[in-house]
């Protein structure tokens, strides 16, 4: 019961963060869930609950989605997902936990730096492959997309909607891979079903403040929180 309560709270926090800033669900949930359950289960549970969040967000904000960019990123993510699955299945749990924490720290640095990535066909294709790898291996696929969309100059609504559409597409591909690899078992389904109600609740709470908190301010709050979660995950592995 305590595990389910903790997992529910973590998913709620992740959904709230993504609702307000457009990203952060997996970056929040994966390292924190990996502290209370094994990292492989944390990645798959996050993927399952994240699908519901992103499909609903995409449907609601579909008018703001840049579909051509979404299609290009999702198509190239197909190349990266098998590589990420190989990492997820073969890497020892302790090393996988370290990898998740290190990826989160790297993602925080990428977003915080405000770096702009190339947005030509080759640049978007490379980011799509990276998104596929990160989606399947660690679940933390947002920051490369944040960097690309920042370079494209998307407004907050377009930014959030297009992120959700790419997350949904890449997530569905990854879930197919998880199923084929036998990673969706009874424990994963139990945790996913128990925490699923936290997704709409967190999104609703985030929407209440979406237009009231400057996006830059909230993004910095999320990034500080991610530094803390990644640091805590590394400390747990080292203990």
How far apart CA 48 and CA 22 sit, in angstroms, is 18
State the pLDDT at residue 230.
66
State the pLDDT at residue 239.
55
State the pLDDT at residue 17.
82
Cβ–Cβ < 8 Å for 55, 49: no
Range of the domain at 29: 2-238
How far apart CA 68 and CA 166 sit, in angstroms, is 11
State the pLDDT at residue 221.
67
Tens-binned pLDDT, residue by residue, of the chain (239 aa): 788 999 999 999 988 887 877 677 887 888 889 888 888 999 999 999 988 888 888 998 899 999 999 999 999 999 999 999 999 989 888 888 788 777 777 767 776 776 666 667 888 888 899 899 988 988 877 778 877 887 787 887 888 889 889 999 999 999 999 999 898 999 999 999 999 999 989 988 888 877 677 766 766 766 676 676 666 666 665 65
How far apart CA 137 and CA 190 sit, in angstroms, is 21
The pTM is what? 0.80
How far apart CA 69 and CA 96 sit, in angstroms, is 31
State the pLDDT at residue 114.
66
Tokens of 42: 């944390």
**Three-class SS string for 93-152?**
HHHHHHHHHHHHHHHHHHHHHCCCCCCCHHHHHHHHHHHHHHHHHCCCCHHHHHHHHHHH
Q: How many domains in the chain?
A: 1
């Amino acid at each position: 019961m305590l595990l389910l309560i903790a997992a529910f709270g973590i998913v709620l926090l992740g959904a709230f963060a993504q609702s307000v800033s457009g990203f952060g669900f997996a970056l929040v949930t994966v390292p924190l869930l990996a502290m209370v359950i094994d990292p492989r289960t944390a990645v798959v549970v996050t993927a399952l609950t994240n699908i519901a969040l992103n499909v609903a967000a995409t449907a609601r904000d579909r008018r703001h989605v840049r579909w051509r960019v979404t299609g290009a990123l999702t198509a190239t993510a197909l190349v990266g997902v098998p590589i990420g699955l190989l990492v997820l299945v073969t890497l020892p749990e302790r090393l996988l936990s370290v990898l998740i924490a290190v990826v989160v720290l790297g993602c925080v640095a990428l977003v915080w730096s405000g770096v702009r990535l190339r947005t030509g066909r080759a640049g978007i294709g490379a980011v799509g492959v990276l998104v596929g790898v990160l989606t399947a291996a660690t679940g933390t696929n947002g920051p490369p997309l944040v960097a690309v969309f920042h370079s494209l100059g998307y407004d907050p609504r377009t930014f959030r909607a297009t992120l959700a559409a790419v997350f949904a597409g890449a997530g569905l591909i990854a879930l197919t891979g998880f199923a084929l690899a036998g990673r969706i078992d009874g424990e994963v389904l139990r945790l996913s079903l128990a925490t699923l109600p936290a997704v709409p609740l967190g999104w609703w709470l985030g929407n209440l403040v979406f237009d009231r908190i400057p996006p830059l301010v909230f993004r910095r709050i999320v990034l500080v929180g991610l530094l803390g979660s990644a640091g805590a995950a590394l400390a747990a592995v080292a203990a």
